[in-house]
Amino acid sequence: MTNAELNQLKQRYVANGAASPSEQFAARGENALLWDAEGNRIIDFAGGIGVLNLGHRHPKVVEAVKAQLDQLMHTCQTVISYAPYVKLAEKLCQLTPVRGEAKTMLVNSGAEALENAVKIARAATGRSGIICFDGSFHGRSFMTLAMTGKVLPYKNDFGPMPGDVFRAPFPVPYHGISEEDSLKALKTVFKTDIAPHRTAAIVIEPIQGEGGFYAASPSFLKALREICDEHGILLIVDEVQSGFARTGKLFALEHSGIEADIMTMAKSLADGMPLSAVVGTGSVMDASGPNSLGGTYSGNPLACAAALAVIEAIEEEDILARSRALGDKLAKRMAEWQQEFEAVDNPRNVGSMAAFELVADKSSRTPAPELAAALCKKAKEKGLILLACGFWGNSIRFLMPITIEDELLEEGLDIVEASLKELVGQPATA
Ligand code: PLP
């Protein structure tokens, strides 16, 4: 079928809120390349929004899933468990920076992981309050929507939201929100909304994903850790987007030197198979009663087999070093664009978690979200999938597979540059 024919089916049969805006249909993928239904080649700088750190159909992952497919597809782990679930739980407990002896539970999506993290935190503390940050994205289920700090497009049509969720500003010094502002506002929340002794958890993305690839500094994360410890609040670290090698470490939190009480992960955990995990301190994870957590499909054997292969491949193929090297290349190109174009500013990266901002001009720093959208559109016309993000909608983020070949990376970055030239033309210092 052609793209046009598939589009007709989409328009007729797929719900508006769930339909992809793209008029192309992916038919095949390999590492950082896709081919559409008509055989057109597309360079993929989105990686399924951070799901494909090891690329489309990584050979080891495909092999592991095929082998598992020949053995067992499903039992429902609460009925009878299987080796891939417990082996993955063991691995994740060994690798995740949480306090003390860790325990794991598996679910299917990022949102589900966050839902369960909140349930566990409430059971462990006997408290209800949850504090999150502006610009955060934690998912599309009701609790995670309440926690998400951005109305459009996620929350707009769907209220009322669950209660006892409060928010503080996330520090973004480039846009005038300092760490001190943020910490002060958090302390105000304790005065205006919920007392510390009623607060179960503070939930933070150490580097915001949808919110704009803004990083919480090690000192900010340490300050949060101290506030949590002072009041017996649990620190939930959401690494759904920043985890699994994107930042040059397995988890972004490792850059700060602190440990979480609970960590959530998903996306590149299983390189395209639906799987998420909640990993936390054993005594916290064990707080709720038998059969209180889980779900019919949670920790599916195929997805667990994929995740075990991902963990092996990250070690064997030195993916953490490759992520850092990719980050260096992205940083160099972004710095060149910042020099060349008045509209390009605030390039930033932790490993290969890299983004830059489009602004009216460098002195005003006024966000230009329409320019970010135009850049993505132009890149698409040239055969590149590029993603915008951000609280202000004006950041361009890079989520290409860490395994992308050098030539393909340069080809994609050249498309970004050519698109910038067409859109914002003259060099800034001409
Ligand atoms: N948390 C973060 C940090 C995310 O980036 C996302 C998705 O982008 C989620 C949670 C929700 O994950 P999912 O879409 O798998 O429910």
Residues in the chain: 430
Ligand 1 centroid to residue 427 C-alpha, Å = 37
Q: How far is CA 352 from CA 59, 136, 252, 320, in A?
A: 22, 20, 11, 10
Instruction: Determine the average pLDDT of the residues in 271-289.
Output: 98
What is the whole-number distance in angstroms between the Cα of residue 118 and the centre of ligand 1?
15
Mean pLDDT, all residues of the chain: 97
- Residues whose CB is less than 8 angstroms from the CB of residue 64 and which lie 6 or more positions away in sequence, other chains included: 305, 306, 308, 309
Q: What atom in ligand 1 is closest to the CA of residue 241? A: 5
Closest residue CA from atom 13 of ligand 1: 110
pTM (whole model) above 0.95: yes
- Counting ligand 1 atoms within 8 A of each CB, the residue from 133, 145, 241, 251 with the most, and so the one to mutate, is 241
What confidence score (pLDDT) does residue 187 get? Answer: 97
Sign of CA dihedral 325, 95, 140, 154: negative
pLDDT > 70? residue 426: no
Q: Tell me, in angstroms, the distance from the centre of ligand 1 to residue 110's CA.
A: 4
Q: What angle do CA 223, 224, 228 make, to 5 degrees?
A: 120
**CA 240 to ligand 1 centroid distance, Å:** 6
Q: Which fold has domain 72-316?
A: Aspartate Aminotransferase; domain 2 (3.40.640)
SS (H, E, C) the chain: CCHHHHHHHHHHHCCHHHCCCCCCCEEEEEECEEEECCCCEEEECCHHHHCCCCCECCHHHHHHHHHHHCCCCCCCCCCCCCHHHHHHHHHHHHHCCECCCEEEEEECCHHHHHHHHHHHHHHHHCCCEEEEECCCCCCCCHHHHHHCCCCCCCCCCCCCCCCCEEEECCCEHHHCECHHHHHHHHHHHHHHCCCHHHEEEEEECCECCCCCCCECCHHHHHHHHHHHHHHCCEEEEECCCCCCCCCCCCCHHHHCCCCECEEEECHHHCCCCCCEEEEEEHHHHCCCCCCCCCCCCCCCHHHHHHHHHHHHHHHHCCHHHHHHHHHHHHHHHHHHHHHHCCCEEEEEEECCEEEEEEECCCCCCCECHHHHHHHHHHHHHCCEECEEECCCCCEEEECCCCCCCHHHHHHHHHHHHHHHHHHHCCCCCC
- 204 CA to centre of ligand 1 in angstroms: 12
Q: Which two tokens stand for residue 14?
A: 């797929």
Note whether 323 and 246 are within 8 A (CB): yes
Ligand 1 atom 12: residue of nearest CA: 110
* Domain ranges in the chain with CATH number 3.90.1150.10: 3-57+319-423
Position in ligand 1 atom list of the atom nearest CA 205: 3
- Give the torsion sign (CA, 24, 45, 401, 104): negative
Ligand 1, pocket-test mutation among 137, 203, 276, 298, most atoms within 8 A of CB: 137
Distance from the CA of 257 to the center of ligand 1, in angstroms? 24
The CA-based angle 400-402-408, given to 5 degrees, is: 60
Strands 41-44 and 33-36: antiparallel
State which of 240, 251, 269 you would mutate to test the pocket of ligand 1, scoring each by most atoms of that ligand within 8 A of its C-beta. Answer: 240
**Sign of the C-alpha dihedral computed for residues 242, 316, 280 and 121 taken in this order:** positive
The answer to whether the CB of 387 falls within 8 A of the CB of 375 is no
For residue 66, name the pLDDT band (cuts at 50, 70, 90): very high
Residue 92 structure tokens: 């994740």
Q: Which atom of ligand 1 is nearest to the CA of 267?
A: 15
Task: Give which of 147, 81, 151 is closest to 117, Cα–Cα.
Answer: 147
Asked if residue 71 has pLDDT above 60, the reply is yes
Protein residues whose CB sits closer than 6 Å to any atom of ligand 1 = 49, 109-111, 114, 137-139, 205, 209-210, 238, 240-241, 266
What pLDDT, on a 0 to 100 scale, did the predictor assign at position 14? 96
**pLDDT grade for 425, boundaries at 50, 70 and 90:** confident
Percent of all residues in the chain with a pLDDT value above 70, rounded to a whole number: 99
What is the best residue among 267, 269, 297 to mutate for testing ligand 1's pocket, by most ligand atoms within 8 Å of CB?
267
Mean pLDDT across 163-176? 98
Question: 83-113, pLDDT tens digit by residue?
Answer: 999 999 999 999 999 999 999 999 999 999 9
What is the band of 430 on the pLDDT scale with cuts at 50, 70, 90?
Answer: very low
In the chain, pLDDT over 90 holds for what percent of residues? 97
Instruction: Work out which ligand 1 atom sits closest to the CA atom of 209.
Output: 5
Ligand 1 centre and the CA of 111: distance in Å?
A: 6
Q: What is the pLDDT of residue 429?
A: 52
Instruction: State the Cα–Cα distance between residues 223 and 259, nearest whole angstrom.
Output: 12
Tens of pLDDT, residues 379-415: 999 999 999 999 999 999 999 999 999 999 999 999 9
Question: Which CATH superfamily groups domain 3-57+319-423?
Answer: Aspartate Aminotransferase, domain 1 (3.90.1150.10)
Q: Evaluate if residue 44 carries a pLDDT over 50.
A: yes
Among residues 384, 416, 386, the alpha carbon closest in space to that of 398 is found at 386
CA of 210 to the centre of ligand 1 (A): 8
Whether the Cβ atoms of residue 177 and residue 168 lie closer than 8 Å to each other:
no
The residue whose C-alpha atom lies closest to atom 1 belonging to ligand 1 is 138
CATH 3.40.640.10 boundaries in the chain:
72-316
| Alpha carbon of 419 to ligand 1 centroid (Å) | 29
